[in-house]
Amino acid sequence: MPVEQTFVHATSDVSIARPRFTFDEVQAIYYLPFNDLLFRAQSVHRKNFDPNAVQLSRLLSIKTGGCAEDCGYCSQSAHAPTGLIASKLMDSESVVAEARKAKQTGATRYCMGAAWRSPKDRDMGALVAMVEGVKALGLETCMTLGMLSEQQAGRLAEAGLDYYNHNIDTSEHFYPEIITTRIFEDRLETLERVRAAGMKVCAGGILGMGETVADRISMLLTLANLPVAPESVPINHLIPVPGTKLASAKSVDPIDFIRTVALARVLMPTSHLRLSAGRTQMSDEMQALCFFAGANSIFIGDTLLTADNPDETHDDGLFRRLGIYPATVEPRG
């Protein structure tokens, strides 16, 4: 039976036995002739989504810079001399005011990110107020705050947080080359806590950090083989930041990038695949092929957390040329 037909829907009963993907079968899909791979990914995509709708999210950095972690790609790590000016946690009123503006530009999901290893318990009150305020605007909410304790995950879920973003970034094998202040297993543990608390999971990674194709396949395999696949999977293209360890990393071949998106679509048929960081460095044609391969979510607005993103005029033009339109809010699962 083809791999995608054996896969159980992300929101279906997790007690149903689910075949695990093996590295070899997944690698064979990755290396299909490009046209066959894209045809397969697009066929899976059409079965599960409107192929011309792309979901729009907006990001806000609610606490910038000065992070204790040493992630080799990140402008916000205190270990990297990137020149970024650190700031304190924003107050919840200002965050909600920013979210209101985002809604007016067509975003349906609002993602709030903090440069933390993990939140402090004293910050939980403000975070809860942000979730409640942004939700009251009718936006879906997402946060990415680093590692969570069971209790913190519970409080955010109770406040109504829809998604928690926590990336595994790369393969387990390559992980220590990129980050030394935590281990891959720590990430999986937080993902488990997020799931157990009843929130939807947003987990993906970065391409272009010097990893091999096998590392990329292995990262997707880890995500697809979770007890329930993440509902949202960001695929970031490294934005090389001067001062970071990866400032001069060799850029990923665009064809390899598109193959990885296609593989993610085949392995996680019902997940939203987000073409995340790095769209500024991509040609319109590369983005078009990523959409064809199954990417169906992007960040809009000219800043991500600290880095540039294409401006809205450009994205509007691209959508018009491709006949793509913004997806409306997904039904709540």
**Binding string, 45-84, against ligand SAM, x = CB under 6 A?**
----------------------------xx----------
Contact 282, 236 (CB under 8 A): no
Question: Cα(164)–Cα(138) distance, rounded to whole angstroms?
Answer: 18
Query: Binding string, 138-177, against ligand SF4, x = CB under 6 A?
Result: --------x-------------------------------
Alpha carbons 271 and 130: distance in angstroms, whole number: 26
Select which of 40, 58, 109, 142 is catalytic: 142
Smallest distance, ligand SF4 to C-beta of residue 64, A: 9
Q: Name residues contacting ligand SAM, limited to 136-165 (CB under 6 A).
A: 144, 146
Least distance from ligand DTB to the Cβ atom of residue 79, Å:
15
- Return d(Cα 188, Cα 107) in angstroms, integer: 29
Euclidean distance between CA atoms 31 and 38, whole angstroms = 11
Instruction: Find the binder of ligand SF4 among 37, 41, 62, 69 (CB under 6 A).
Output: 69
| CA gap 295, 272 in Å, rounded | 7
Nearer to ligand SAM, 3 or 301 (CB): 301
Name the token pair of 122: 């004293």
Stretch that binds ligand SAM, among 50-58, 214-222, 238-246, 266-274 (CB under 6 A): 238-246
The two structure tokens encoding residue 203: 């987990």
Task: Let me know: does 228 contact 184? Beta carbons within 8 Å.
Answer: no
Q: In 3-state terms, the chain is what percent helix, strand and coil (to 5)?
A: 40, 15, 45
Contact between 194 and ligand SAM by CB under 6 A: the answer reads: no
Q: Which of 21, 40, 75, 269 binds ligand DTB (CB under 6 A)?
A: 75
Site string for ligand DTB, 190-209 (x = CB under 6 A): --------------x-----
- The sign one gets for the Cα dihedral 240, 245, 249, 255 is negative
Distance CA 136, CA 154 (A): 20
Q: Could you say which of 115, 148, 295, 304 contacts ligand SF4 (CB under 6 A)? A: 115
β-partners of residue 234 are 274
Per CB under 6 A, the list member of 74, 90, 127, 273 interacting with ligand SF4 is 74
Check residue 278 for interaction with ligand SF4 (CB under 6 A): no
User: Dihedrals φ, ψ of 284, to 5°?
Assistant: -60, -35
Kindly report each contact of residues 23-29 with a partner whose C-beta sits within 8 Å and lies 24 or more positions away, as own/partner.
Answer: 23/217, 23/218, 23/221, 26/217, 26/220, 26/221, 26/224, 26/263, 26/267, 27/214, 27/217, 29/3, 29/263, 29/266
Using CB under 6 A, which of 109, 166, 245, 279 touches ligand SAM? 166
Pick the closer one to ligand DTB by CB: 193 or 237: 237
| 258 is an interface residue for ligand SF4 by CB under 6 A | no
290 is catalytic: no
Burial state string for 266-303 with b = 16 or more CB within 10 A and e = fewer than 16: bbbbbbbbbbbbbbebbeeebbbbbbbbbbbbbbbbee
Footprint of ligand SAM on 78-137 (CB under 6 A): 113, 115-116
Active site residues: 67, 71, 74, 111, 142, 202, 274
Q: Give the interface with ligand DTB as residue ranges (CB under 6 A).
A: 59, 75, 111, 113, 144, 165, 167, 204, 234, 236, 239, 276-277, 304-307
Binding residues for ligand SF4, per CB under 6 A? 67, 69, 71, 74, 76-77, 115, 117, 146
For ligand SAM, the binding residues (CB under 6 A) are 73-74, 113, 115-116, 144, 146, 166-167, 169, 206, 236, 238-239, 241, 277-278, 305
